[in-house]
């Protein structure tokens, strides 16, 4: 029991969980209440099933992308094109399904998912191949593809919104027995992707190689790791998660356009960094990315609850990124200093 508690409180995400708890308590206390239409009992404006599920749903779309982008950040890179990949995946799926005509509900859903995830995967592989082949920093490559992919989506749709078939909406907005306007599919998808991300990063050889690649590139090279395969692989996963998020978003909102997910790059990177991923590489987790996304959504909720100008949202998120990076660098220096002192003590004892 003591070992389990020590392991729990020694987890890198425990601080973020505590912050989430504090923000949740604050929101619950300040949100006020309203009488329920059916029972007449007072219901807290924040701490109720509808608001909690909706908050998790709002976070789910860029949290899923943040899990994929975290792999890129762990490897020492960055992916600025996730929002554009999301948009292109969504509009390609809508155009493809419109051209395919009337099909069964299952066929429509599976085909839409296949196209969305396939386009996202192709965009990710393209990013990785350009980074490896041209030997240019991922920031520059993904900055370029960010504009290219969104431009392709804009040209393909002529800046018009396209409705998605009803079966996609029926799947994404399935109540799963909850009723009351609750749609838990995006939230459950986020949790599933988080679990898969944790398993991939901590229980597979490829996951450990990503940490090795980001932590010490030269050591990875001398260890005989396929660096190009690792780098293309992390971008491929990032694109795949963007495609999956696009599928869920298209079904949930019922339409797609070339302007979808504009600005999501900030939310995705902020979620990963606030969740503990180091922009220097070698550090990060899927759980941290999800918790970071939830915290950002709660920050947005706090601004609305306290009736602040919504433009403060950008200021707060920007400050959160800076603080997260500063704390990460301070923690890295402190750890390096402790290791150096320990090595000196061992040397002196010998």
Summarised one tens digit per residue, pLDDT across range 225-242 is: 888 999 999 999 999 999
234: Cα separation from own chain's centroid: 14
Per-residue tokens: 245: 């998020």
Burial class (CB in 10 A: 0-12, 13-18, 19+), 37: exposed
Side-chain-side CA neighbours of 61 within 13 Å: the count stands at 27
Quote the pLDDT of residue 11. Answer: 67
Quote the pLDDT of residue 70. Answer: 96
Task: Summarize pLDDT for 46-79 with one digit per residue, the tens.
Answer: 888 888 888 999 999 989 999 999 999 999 999 9
Q: Which of 155-169, 235-249, 314-328 has the lowest mean pLDDT?
A: 314-328
d(CA 350, CA 340): 15
Mean pLDDT confidence for 220-229: 86
Task: Summarize pLDDT for 293-324 with one digit per residue, the tens.
Answer: 998 998 888 887 777 777 777 787 788 778 77
Check pLDDT > 60 for residue 8. no
> Per-residue confidence at 7, pLDDT binned at 50, 70, 90?
low
Quote the pLDDT of residue 2. Answer: 60
High-pLDDT (> 90) share of the chain, %: 53
Check pLDDT > 70 for residue 115. yes
Quote the pLDDT of residue 207. Answer: 93
Which residue intervals of the chain are DSSP H helices? 2-9, 14-30, 49-74, 82-100, 105-134, 138-157, 166-172, 185-203, 205-215, 217-222, 227-253, 264-274, 286-305, 312-349
**Is 28 in contact with 301 (CB distance < 8 Å)?**
no
Q: Which of 1-15, 158-172, 189-203, 263-277 has the lowest mean pLDDT?
A: 1-15
Mean pLDDT of the chain: 88
Q: Which residue has the tokens 């800076």?
A: 322
Per-residue tokens: 284: 């990060």
Check pLDDT > 80 for residue 108. yes
Mean pLDDT confidence for 184-200: 96
**Is 218 in contact with 231 (CB distance < 8 Å)?**
no
High-pLDDT (> 70) share of the chain, %: 94
Task: Summarize pLDDT for 126-150 with one digit per residue, the tens.
Answer: 999 999 999 999 999 999 999 999 9
CATH dotted code for 56-335: 1.10.3470
């Amino acid at each position: 029991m003591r070992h389990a508690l020590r392991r729990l409180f020694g987890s890198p995400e425990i601080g973020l969980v505590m912050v989430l708890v504090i923000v949740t308590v604050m929101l619950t206390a300040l949100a006020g209440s309203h009488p329920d239409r059916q029972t007449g009992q007072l219901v807290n404006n924040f701490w109720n099933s509808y608001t909690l599920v909706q908050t998790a749903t709002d976070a789910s779309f860029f949290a899923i992308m943040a899990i994929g982008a975290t792999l890129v950040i762990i490897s020492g890179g960055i992916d600025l094109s996730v929002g554009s990949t999301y948009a292109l995946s969504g509009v390609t799926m809508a155009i493809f399904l419109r051209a395919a005509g009337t099909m069964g509900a299952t066929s429509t859903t599976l085909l839409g998912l296949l196209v969305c995830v396939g386009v996202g995967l192709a965009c990710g592989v393209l990013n990785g191949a350009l980074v490896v082949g041209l030997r240019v920093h991922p920031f520059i490559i993904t900055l370029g593809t960010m504009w290219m992919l969104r431009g392709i989506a804009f040209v393909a749709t002529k800046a018009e919104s396209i409705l998605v078939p009803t079966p996609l909406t029926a799947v994404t907005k399935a109540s799963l027995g909850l009723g009351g306007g609750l749609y838990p599919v995006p939230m459950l998808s986020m949790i599933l992707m988080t679990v898969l991300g944790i398993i991939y990063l901590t229980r597979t050889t490829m996951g450990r190689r990503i940490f090795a690649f980001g932590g010490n590139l030269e050591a990875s090279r001398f260890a005989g790791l396929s660096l190009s395969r690792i780098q293309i692989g992390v971008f491929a996963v990032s694109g795949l998660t963007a495609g999956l998020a696009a599928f869920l978003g298209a079904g949930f909102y019922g339409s797609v356009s070339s302007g979808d997910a504009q600005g999501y790059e900030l939310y995705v990177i902020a979620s990963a960094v606030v969740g503990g991923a180091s922009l220097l590489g070698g550090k990060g987790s899927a759980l941290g990315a999800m918790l970071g996304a939830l915290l950002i959504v709660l920050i947005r909720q706090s601004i609305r609850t306290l009736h602040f100008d919504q433009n403060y949202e950008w200021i707060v998120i920007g400050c959160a990124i800076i603080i997260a990076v500063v704390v990460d660098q301070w923690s890295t220096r402190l750890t390096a200093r402790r290791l150096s002192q320990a090595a000196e003590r061992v040397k002196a004892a010998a």
